Amino acid sequence: MAEALSSDKITQELTKVTGWSLANDAKSISKKFQFKDFREAFSFMTACALWAEKADHHPDWSNVYNRVDVTLSTHDAGGVTEKDIAFAAYMDEITA
């Protein structure tokens, strides 16, 4: 099972992705995405859903029209793991 990363390690890992913030309790990372419209927002969500099913690692997220707010955490590990960093990197990649 993936192990929760220390705050220092997460901060270091977050330099490799773009616009992700560590929560005050260091247990999750989050980012707010904005798209042209709902179609683009939901297309992004669909790509992420396929990634999530394959990795068996799912996001906490909300959507209002063209905005998608994402929070990533590994509940089993009680914090942020390499899985969350990998998911964040994937989301950045497909929205680059």
Residue 51 contacts its own copies per CB under 8 A? no
What sign does the dihedral 43-47-52-54 (CA atoms) show? Answer: positive
How many CB atoms lie under 10 A from the CB of residue 93? Answer: 11
Alpha-carbon span 71 to 68, nearest angstrom: 10
* Residue whose token pair is 């960093």: 85
Residue 42 contacts its own copies per CB under 8 A? yes
Residue 36 contacts its own copies per CB under 8 A? no
| Number of residues engaging its own copies in binding (CB under 8 A) | 16
Scanning 6-14, 28-36, 37-45, 78-86 for contacts with its own copies by CB under 8 A, the matching segment is 37-45
Alpha-carbon span 87 to 28, nearest angstrom: 12
Residue 80 contacts its own copies per CB under 8 A? no
Residue 2 contacts its own copies per CB under 8 A? no
Rule CB under 8 A: which residues touch its own copies?
Answer: 38-39, 42, 45-46, 49, 52-53, 58-65
